[in-house]
A = this chain, B = another copy of it.
Amino acid sequence: MNYEETKNMNIPDRLTRDLYQEICRIPLIDPHSHINPLSAPSRSLVDILGYHYYTELAHSAGMDQAALAPEISPREKVRSILGFMNRIDNSVQYSWFLEIARSFLGFQGDRVSADDCDSLFDKSEQVFGNPGWEDDVLRKSGVEKVFLTNDFDDPLEGFDTAKYVPCLRTDDLVFHLDKVATRERLNRATKSDVSNVAELRHAIGTLFQHFQARGAKACAISLPPSFAPTHVEEARAEVAFAAILRDDANDTERTILASFVFWTLAEFCKEYRLPFDLMIGVNRRVYPTGVFQGQDLFDQRTSLIQYGALFNAFPTVKFPISVLTSVQNQELVSYSWIFPNVLTNGHWWYSNIPAYIEPDCRARLQAVPKTKQIGYYSDAYKLEFILPKFNMYRRILAGVLANDFVRPGIYTEKGALDLAKLLLRDNTQAIFGA
């Protein structure tokens, strides 16, 4: 029995297993990732275990951050992280790693430890170093297209935008325009010298032009729990922006400008017919001395009502929404059921574990039009993570389809698989025009 067969045997319910196996045949479009298209697959095991999910969990479990210092070799970094695996082998993140090791590196064991460092590291260099690896991993993972997360000043050159779909990430524009460096990046990217809000708006328009010309299919942003955007009169924005340019802005002025830029982005999304992915609820740098990318957390006290004015003002803009808690998901289910332009999007970050995916997915499938749901995205930094993350989702989806749809006679197995295809592929194509 090979690995794939073993894996499927681990779904004890036959109907769920059958559905899972069929769902795995649906060619994927991954609608959100952090893949660098110029270096999409891993080069060695450090690209796998350097993923913040492992560094932050190992650190949380006791690993000193000195183990990750720049002067430490990739192999020794991996050895340190593997040395803490026996404290986190209960986690779903560990199971992703084990699935990568088994699927791609021929690992045969049940548990992985520091003792496996050298053999796995050597094997990873060998496998990942193969010139055909990028195509291999995409094929083995059944992936056709991967959406990217591009800085606003990304030249978007040197890669196949039909395979790696550009996406304009706008956090810096909305939340960091008070930094000189951000404004300089904007000026350089748009060949402008922005000194008022009219010029700012024009520069943002130039970014949209550039992104659309290079095949971008979405605009995206992550938002703190307190953010509540409103339309800002240009005159008020002008005063706030002037204060920012003088490096003399207070919090209110920063908030006004953030709202103004955010609203302007929505206006361009309307003009350029781009969906605007909102990832709602993250506070940055809550643990500022944590590992790289392992510093952000959330405050559950947030509501989609904060975006009510936005949803009403832009009925033609589609807003695929990601949230961080199950109670926000309950709001999301209701808002997507009412607002034509609000859509459910994947299972994000801290909510991306089976204990939360399963109830969140069930609720969406029971109450949101099936054409408005984007089932899942990988959020991956390296291609190898697409397989285990989507497999986790596909197993859960298969179980929900079996128990909530096929067994009660709502759908046949064929009907359930059609729904899965919407969630994993067709809706993404229709919503983003990808």
Given A301-B303, A409-B10, are A369 and B61 also a contact pair (CB < 8 Å)?
yes
Copy number of this protein in the oligomer? 3
Does A250 make an interface contact (CB < 8 A)? no
Question: In the docked arrangement, what's the CA distance between A315 and B60, Å?
Answer: 11
How distant is A53 from chain B, measured CB to nearest CB, in Å? 9
Q: Which residues of chain B have C-beta atoms less than 8 A from A61's C-beta?
A: 340, 369, 371-372
Would you call B56 and A338 a contact (CB within 8 A)? yes
- Which stretch (A73-81, A187-195, A280-288) binds chain B? A280-288
A110 CA to B409 CA, complexed, in Å: 9
With A and B bound together, what is the CA distance between A369 and B338 in angstroms? 35
Stretch from A89-97, A128-136, A168-176, A234-242 contacting the other chain: A89-97
A367 touching B407, Cβ below 8 Å = no
Tell me how far the C-beta of A329 lies from the nearest C-beta in chain B, rounded to whole angstroms.
10
> Given A363-B356, A366-B355: A340 and B60 within 8 A (CB)?
yes
Q: Which residues of B contact A354 (CB under 8 A)?
A: 362, 366, 404
Smallest CB separation, A141 vs chain B (Å):
20
Q: Given A301-B301, A305-B297, A356-B363, are A339 and B60 neighbors across the interface (CB < 8 Å)?
A: yes
Known interface pairs A59-B340, A370-B89. Does A298 touch B355 (Cβ–Cβ under 8 Å)? no
- Report Cα–Cα, A276/B365, bound state, in Å: 34
Q: Do residues B327 and A91 form an inter-chain contact, with CB atoms below 8 A?
A: no
User: Chain B: which residue is nearest A92 at the CB level?
Assistant: B366
Question: Of residues A90, A326, A405, which shows the largest number of chain B Cβ atoms within 10 Å of its Cβ?
Answer: A90
Q: Are B91 and A368 in contact (CB under 8 A)?
A: yes
Cα distance, A59 to B315, chains bound together (Å): 12
Residue from B6, B11, B287, B312 in contact with A288 in the complex, judged by beta carbons closer than 8 Å: B312
Residue of B nearest to A110 (CB): B412
Name the residue of chain B whose CB is nearest to the CB of A10: B409
Q: Mask for A339-370, Cβ within 8 A of B = 1, else 0?
A: 11000000000110111100100110111111
User: In the bound complex, what is the Cα–Cα distance between A289 and B308 (angstroms)?
Assistant: 12
Do A330 and B366 form a contact, CB below 8 Å, given A59-B340, A61-B371, A408-B11? no
- A250 CB to closest chain B CB (Å) equals 21
A65 to chain B, nearest CB (A): 10
Q: A355 and B359 in contact (CB under 8 A), knowing A90-B405, A300-B330?
A: yes
* Distance A327 CA – B56 CA, assembled complex (angstroms): 22
- A314 neighbours in B (Cβ, 8 Å): none
A124 to chain B, nearest CB (A): 23
- Decide if A57 is an interface residue (CB 8 Å cutoff): yes
Note all chain B residues with C-beta closer than 8 A to A355. Answer: 359, 362-363, 366-367
CB of A88, distance to nearest CB on chain B (Å): 5
Judge whether B327 and A300 touch: CB under 8 Å.
Answer: yes
Given the interface pairs A60-B369, A325-B330, A356-B330, the reply to whether A303 lies near B312 with Cβ below 8 Å is no
Interface residue? A337 (CB, 8 A):
yes
Q: Is the CB of B297 within 8 A of A300?
A: no
* CB closest residue in chain B, given A395: B408
Query: A283 — which chain B residues lie within 8 A by C-beta?
Result: 305
The interface residues of chain B lying within 8 Å CB-to-CB of A356 are 330, 363
Q: Is A70 an interface residue (CB 8 A)?
A: no
Query: How far is it, in angstroms, between the C-alpha of A411 and the C-alpha of B54 when the chains are bound?
Result: 20
Asked if residues B60 and A331 are in contact (CB atoms below 8 Å), the reply is: no
Knowing that A59-B340, A62-B340, A355-B362 touch, tell me 13 more A-B residue pairs with CB under 8 angstroms: A60-B338, A60-B369, A60-B372, A87-B371, A89-B370, A91-B368, A287-B339, A290-B338, A297-B304, A330-B351, A334-B350, A353-B363, A356-B363
User: Mind listing 27 A-B residue pairs with CB under 8 Å?
Assistant: A6-B409, A10-B409, A12-B407, A56-B337, A60-B337, A60-B339, A61-B340, A62-B340, A87-B370, A88-B369, A89-B370, A90-B365, A91-B368, A283-B305, A286-B308, A289-B315, A294-B338, A295-B338, A297-B331, A299-B331, A300-B330, A300-B331, A301-B303, A330-B350, A333-B353, A350-B367, A354-B404
